[in-house]
Amino acid sequence: MMRALRVVRAQLRASIATALQYRFDFAVNGTLALLWMGVTLVPLIVVFGKREAVAGWTFPEMLVVLGWFVALKGVLEGTLSPSLLQVIEHVRKGTLDFVLLKPADAQLLVSLSKIEPWRVIDVAGGGVILGVAFQRIGHPPALADVLLAALLLCSAVLVLYSIAILVVSIAFVAVRVDNLLYLFQSVFDVARWPSSVFRGTLAVVFTFVLPLALMTTYPSLCRRRGRRFPPLRSGSAGDLDRLHPAVHLRQLVVHGRSP
């Protein structure tokens, strides 16, 4: 465990040093991140300028969903996406062997090989949006709700990671799969809206196939007393079942054996 933490610390230090080599680019990317957060608020402002609630969600409650979405978007585009896109590039160039031969867990190395530090702005911005949302609601969430929301947030990160690993594993068979990762990032934008907004087939897809509901809606439901959602079997335990096939597929493709 301590060895893994040292590897993560070294990867983070290297990514920060690389980012600070181009300070103007770092500042521009940080400014664009702030601009993007402002743009994400526009649809909510437009919609709630005409009505009081959407699918039973008020404006402050929608802000809670948006806060989770912005924070997770920062995690996805700050760690998972750039790192796993680099894996695809290694596969394309035939340089992945240099990573596999290093005296550390290969999956850990490729999963955090490239970190974009300015995405911390997204995570902080998500926290600010949540703070504003709870101020408008009129009371902070209970401690039990915060702990449950944190558990679901960890589950959401595991789901994001497992789906990304599954997509990247296809690169060993079909090299040009980076567009699939970009497609997933685009589909993830749907998570800015509560799952109850969608009906029929879309509701099933965004709850069970691509569980976007788990990522943003469920943590937001933790503070809506009297609201019920499916049990955590489809949540924190279910995402472990989703993560295991991803790791299993990676072992089969890279090493030709079961874990």
Please compute the mean of the pLDDT values over residues 2-16 and round it to a whole number. Answer: 81
Question: For 96-137, how does the pLDDT look when each residue is reduced to its tens digit (9 = 90+)?
Answer: 888 888 887 877 888 887 888 888 888 888 889 988 888 888
Which burial class, exposed, middle or buried, applies to 162 when counting CB atoms under 10 A from its CB (0-12, 13-18, 19+)? buried
d(CA 259, CA 102): 19
**pLDDT at residue 159 tops 60:** yes
Which burial class, exposed, middle or buried, applies to 29 when counting CB atoms under 10 A from its CB (0-12, 13-18, 19+)? middle
CA angle 237, 77, 241 (to 5 degrees): 15
**pLDDT at residue 239 tops 70:** no
| Single-letter amino acid code for the residue at 135 | Q
Q: E strands of the chain, at which residues?
A: 53-54, 57-58
Which residues, at least 6 apart from 193, have a Cβ–Cβ distance to it below 8 Å? 65
pTM: 0.75
Return the closest-CA partner of residue 73 out of 16, 109, 121: 121
Domain that holds residue 54: 2-255
Please compute the mean of the pLDDT values over residues 39-54 and round it to a whole number. Answer: 86
Quote the tokens at residue 155: 């589950």
- Whether the Cβ atoms of residue 96 and residue 165 lie closer than 8 Å to each other: no
3-state SS assignment for residue 102: coil
Beta-carbon neighbour count of residue 223 at 10 Å?
20
Distance of CA 178 to the CA centre of its chain: 17
**pLDDT at residue 183 tops 60:** yes
- List 53's β-bridge partners, or say none: 58
**In the chain, how many domains are there?**
1
3-state SS assignment for residue 15: helix
Phi then psi for residue 226, to 5 deg, are 90, -10
pLDDT confidence of residue 223? 59
**pLDDT at residue 162 tops 60:** yes
**pLDDT at residue 208 tops 60:** yes
Q: Return the axis-axis angle of helices 143-169 and 59-75, rounded to nearest 10°.
A: 40
- List 57's β-bridge partners, or say none: 54
